[in-house]
Structure 1
Amino acid sequence: MRIERDFYIRKTLIVAKELLGQYLVRKYKNRFLIGKIVETEAYIGPKDKASHAYSKKNQPSKLKIKIINENWTRIKKYVENRENFIKRILRCKFCKVTKRNLAEYLKGGHIYIYLVYGNYYQLNITTFKEGYPECVLIRSLEPIENIKNSKGPGNLCKELKLDKSFWGEDLCSSKRIWLEYGEKIPENDIIKAKRIGIDYAEEYKDKLWRFYIKNNKWISKK
């Protein structure tokens, strides 16, 4: 059963934990590539200094509007009301809007994907309300069907054949990628840990916003 919008538009830390055990399904060349989510990281911009939306200085409103307008054709089918979308972003103090991270401002249930070091992609799922830059990074999958090496965010994107064409895609309506309900993971089987590779994030590098299933061998790092 496909996971619908209500699941994603809740608070990000709740979604990050409850994504554990759910199935990520990718339809590719008449095959289904399926993995169980076993590790996630929450990013809660703009207060989160590890978030792509965080900025030490408040980005000028004119620049935010310019970036939104220049990229409107990429996101317009996913936005309910353009005026309200822009208003929410402008109210977000110390938010940074870029061509890359604009998808992060879509309402919960959309894909925010980007290239890292020009080498591999990372898959994020937006959370909470439209206009609020929050998301969950999918760090690792346990292979279920037609995938093998899905440990780590780069590997899972390669296994699922994910690229920049998925930027902004709606998991609630897409015909090529979606999430389905899988297992409910008991609270005492969920490990909380520091996120990986964010030493620059000052006090936010110590937040226990990474979640993984205890004793699962597909975790990228324990």
Structure 2
Amino acid sequence: MKLNREFYNRDTLVVAKELLGKILVHEVDGIRTVSKIVEVEAYIGPMDKAAHSYNGRRTPRVEPMYGNPGFAYVYFIYGMYYCFNIVTREEGMPEAVLVRAVEPIEGVEIMAERRFKKSFDELTKAQKKNLTNGPSKLCNALKINKEQNKEDLCGDKLYIEQGKEEEFTIGTSERIGIDYAEEAKNYPWRFYIEGNPYVSKLRRK
């Protein structure tokens, strides 16, 4: 069952935790890839110094965060990487959840070709582990880029499904790579499935 608009139109921290274990599907150029969300980070709008919308910042790049819930916010960093975010809360409340890592389920050969120009069987153990265990890595493997910015996640191209019910422990930590964000760098708004091999490395204190 595909997640509906109401799922995303809630408290961002709640949505972030409940996205864990959900199934991310992307169908592009007739090719379908499927993965399980295993790591996320929440960004809480104007009061969060790590968020692009901190202090009400509103630019063409950030505009998707101010839109309706359940849409994609894809941005470009360092001149080479994409990051995929899911907009939460009602229109005008610029909050979102960054998808940091996923576990490949379907279309693994396609992911391997996109990431390493090799078949999955040709990958080293390290390459297999690094296939989708980071925000830019998963975007590369799932072919998520600027074309998916503002994509409706309740549509038929890029969307998230409920998936099978499973039990797991949710780990919590500070977010990664935001040392510029002063006190906000210490907010425990990163959530992940403990023990999953596709979770990116823990932040060192």
TM-score computed with the length of structure 1 as normaliser? 0.79
- Give the Å deviation of 1:183: 4.0
Partner of 1:151: 133
Deviations 1:108-133 (A, max 9, x none): 10000011101110000000110010
Write the distance in 2 (CA, Å) between the matches of 1:95 and 1:29: 37
Contact 1:42–1:210 under 8 Å retained in 2: yes
Write the distance in 2 (CA, Å) between the matches of 1:171 and 1:50: 24
| 1:117-156 correspondence runs (5 A) | 117-147=78-108, 148=111, 149-156=131-138
- Give the Å deviation of 1:28: 2.3
Question: Residue type matched to 2:9 in 1?
Answer: I
Partner of 2:186: 206
- Give the Å deviation of 1:162: 1.2
- Give the Å deviation of 1:201: 0.9
- Give the Å deviation of 1:31: 2.6
Partner of 1:160: 142
- Give the Å deviation of 1:144: 0.4
- Give the Å deviation of 1:151: 1.1
Question: Residue type matched to 2:159 in 1?
Answer: W
Question: Residue type matched to 1:35 in 2?
Answer: S
Contact 1:39–1:219 under 8 Å retained in 2: yes
Write the distance in 1 (CA, Å) between the matches of 2:45 and 2:165: 27
Number of equivalenced pairs: 181
Write the distance in 1 (CA, Å) between the matches of 2:161 and 2:45: 26
Structure 2 regions of 5+ residues with no counterpart?
112-130
Asked if 1:179 corresponds to 2:160, the answer is yes
- Give the Å deviation of 1:106: 1.1
Write the distance in 2 (CA, Å) between the matches of 1:154 and 1:208: 22
| 1:85-96 correspondence runs (5 A) | 94-96=55-57
- Give the Å deviation of 1:221: 1.6
- Give the Å deviation of 1:96: 0.5
SS at 1:46's partner residue?
helix
Partner of 2:5: 5
TM-score computed with the length of structure 2 as normaliser? 0.85
SS at 1:33's partner residue?
strand
| 1:20-39 correspondence runs (5 A) | 20-39=20-39
Residue identity (%): 48
Contact 1:126–1:134 under 8 Å retained in 2: yes
- Give the Å deviation of 1:169: 1.1
SS at 2:102's partner residue?
strand
Write the distance in 2 (CA, Å) between the matches of 1:19 and 1:107: 18
SS at 2:184's partner residue?
helix
Partner of 1:86: none
Partner of 2:151: 169
Write the distance in 1 (CA, Å) between the matches of 2:90 and 2:164: 25
Query: In the superposition, relative to structure 1, how do residues 107 and 185 fare at CA in structure 2: closer, same or farther (>3 Å)?
Result: farther
- Give the Å deviation of 1:182: 1.6
Question: Residue type matched to 1:182 in 2?
Answer: G
- Give the Å deviation of 1:29: 2.8
